[in-house]
Structure 1
Amino acid sequence: MNRLLYVFLFFVAFQTQLTAQASINDYKYIIVPKQFEFLKSQDQYETSSLTKFLFNKYGYTAFFDNEDLPKDLSTNRCLALISDIKKIKGFLITRLQIDLVDCNGNVVMSSQIGETKIKEYERAYQTAIREAFETYRHLDYKYEPSEAVIAASKSSTTSEAEEIEELKKEVEALKAKKEEMETISEEKKSEKPILEKKPKKVTKQIIEDVVELEPKSTPKTEILYAQPKPNGYQVVDMTPKVVMFLLNTSKEDIYLVKDENAIVYKEDGFWFLSKFSNDNLSLTQINLKF
């Protein structure tokens, strides 16, 4: 009886491994963040460098999230899985698990938990990563294009592109409206003083109600820092306090703002936050550092 139970459990585990293997084979690349969430700086204790090295060593194609990517991956981020290392609580022990996450934030596969009682941080993290990596080392990974993944990524890319284009059209429309209001204001200034007072107030109010679109670039502008995260970046201020989360799109230098009807994009060397709220569109220049 015990032997039959053992055979059954082994069969279930083997089938589970095959399913996971087939799933991970659907993806062509691995993207490794330069900084994992539980660490305080980029590549601290060489955690990112080691993770990328191990993926490439065992037959995967891995890149850092801030380096030049292959053309097909730059166009379609859904061809890659993002590696995310989670630190699991443990008493006097370091425990790490490596997840592979798709472009929609779904965990495709999780590694075994790597753990060690080494007290020195660098040795402890690297030892735990190597132990957790045994899961991916023995998968016999081989990329096999998946129609489901490609179709899903095309749908996601189309949706993002449409949303970005719609927001940009709204920005351009409001810019044109503001220029029209400024022209009206200039014409009013050339009229007689007796006719100037009331229209001037109305014009000023109309301009203020539309939106302030002129970029404000002053020494007092708060500096914001973009920190790499799976699927994009988290933006923090000088405190540091998390201000917003930016999600990658298929367009270069254009990001969606998570949980908001807004985008962040770069134009003429400056970064702008375009936000649509209560039927009003605001455009603000931000001092964003990557």
Structure 2
Amino acid sequence: MKKFALLLLFVSFVSYSQGINNYQYVIVPKKFDSFKSEDRFGLNTSVKLLLQKYGFKAYFSDESFADDTLNRCDFLTADLINESNIMVTKVKVALKDCKGNIVYQTDLGTSREKQYAIAYSEALRAAAKSFETLAYKYEGKSLPFQPTTEKPVVGVSESKIESISTTNTNEKPVVRVIDNKIASKYNTVFFFAQPTANGYQVVDNEPKVIMRLYNTSQKNVFMADKNGVNGTVLLKEGQWVFEYYNNGNLVSEPINLKF
């Protein structure tokens, strides 16, 4: 019986390792669900640095990315599971795939320190010891990824962006003014869809939740709520669009969305 239990433990460990080794990028949210403020006790920053220490390429959720070939399922999302009570601070780090499934989870780290900032730091360090035995090593396909701090084209108002093009170097550039609703198609800033219990929340680069998506029975079709405006987000010819009715007219807004 003891040998059987050890075998199960070994198989579980190998399974975890194989799954986690298929990923190299991890998105760390600026605020964990268990806390009311961003980077509470510095935990979000600590988790990001911890993941980088053990070989992952970890980035905050408000960082922009220059490579449009990536999709949401190329990334894991970090979560801090808080099981603390009055007497003991208890946390563990979970890495979830694009469907919200836990790909890897540390052991529970604990602390009996009374000061919360110290207690959470101690508990996180204790949980981090699991990464030492994980022996993580990325074995999947290398992805051409670089974070970018590029901003949209400057010199224009918040509501509009200018796109300049020309077909002849001797001609003056043609300036087209594009409404900000479709500006995301012309710059590297995109919106990130983060998994929720029944769909996704879409965040901008502040980060701020700008839209909520709800699963339907159709693939690549979501019910959407954008600041009280109800509609549908769907994939059309490789482009995500938000469609809704305004005064009886159907409006279709392209959105540069990453899952």
TM-score in terms of structure 1 length: 0.52
Aligned ranges 1:113-152 → 2 under 5 Å: 113-145=108-140
**Deviation string, structure 1 residues 115-163 (Cα, Å, up to 9, x no partner):** 11112111111111111122223211111227xxx9xxxxxxxxxxxxx
**Distance change (3 Å), C-alpha of 1:122 and 1:245:** farther
**Distance change (3 Å), C-alpha of 1:93 and 1:66:** same
| Match status 1:257 vs 2:257 | no
Structure that is richer in helix per residue: 1
SS where residue 118 of structure 1 aligns?
Answer: coil
Q: What is the CA–CA distance in structure 2 between the aligned matches of 1:20 and 1:28, rounded to whole Å?
A: 14
Equivalence for 1:56? 52
SS where residue 2 of structure 2 aligns?
Answer: helix
Q: What is the CA–CA distance in structure 2 between the aligned matches of 1:85 and 1:246, rounded to whole Å?
A: 23
2:64 to 61, 64, 68: 68
SS where residue 138 of structure 1 aligns?
Answer: helix
Q: Which amino acid aligns with 1:85?
A: L
Q: Which amino acid aligns with 2:28?
A: V
Shift of 1:234: 7.0
Maintained 8 Å contact 1:33/1:230: no
Unaligned runs of 5+ in 2: 144-190, 204-208, 215-221, 235-240, 254-259
Maintained 8 Å contact 2:223/2:233: yes
Q: Which amino acid aligns with 1:55?
A: L
Structure that is richer in strand per residue: 2
SS where residue 64 of structure 2 aligns?
Answer: coil
Equivalence for 1:245? 212
Maintained 8 Å contact 1:94/1:128: yes
Aligned ranges 1:273-288 → 2 under 5 Å: 274-275=243-244, 281=250
The two structures, once aligned, show a CA RMSD in angstroms of 4.0
Equivalence for 2:32? 36
**Distance change (3 Å), C-alpha of 1:132 and 1:69:** farther
Q: Which amino acid aligns with 2:232?
A: A
2:19 to 18, 23, 40: 23
Shift of 1:112: 1.0
| Match status 1:83 vs 2:96 | no
| Aligned residue pair count | 182
**Distance change (3 Å), C-alpha of 1:112 and 1:96:** same
TM-score in terms of structure 2 length: 0.57
Shift of 1:91: 3.8
SS where residue 132 of structure 1 aligns?
Answer: helix
**Distance change (3 Å), C-alpha of 1:61 and 1:14:** same
**Deviation string, structure 1 residues 216-238 (Cα, Å, up to 9, x no partner):** xxxxxxxxxx9996576478xxx
SS where residue 134 of structure 2 aligns?
Answer: coil
What is the percentage of aligned positions where both structures have the same residue? 31
**Distance change (3 Å), C-alpha of 1:144 and 1:131:** same
**Distance change (3 Å), C-alpha of 1:51 and 1:228:** farther
Shift of 1:8: 2.8
**Deviation string, structure 1 residues 18-40 (Cα, Å, up to 9, x no partner):** 11100111112111111111112
**Distance change (3 Å), C-alpha of 1:10 and 1:129:** same
**Distance change (3 Å), C-alpha of 1:120 and 1:51:** same
Maintained 8 Å contact 1:94/1:116: yes
**Deviation string, structure 1 residues 80-100 (Cα, Å, up to 9, x no partner):** 110111211434111112111
Maintained 8 Å contact 1:35/1:228: no
**Distance change (3 Å), C-alpha of 1:50 and 1:256:** farther
Q: Which has the larger radius of gyration?
A: 1
Equivalence for 1:97? 92
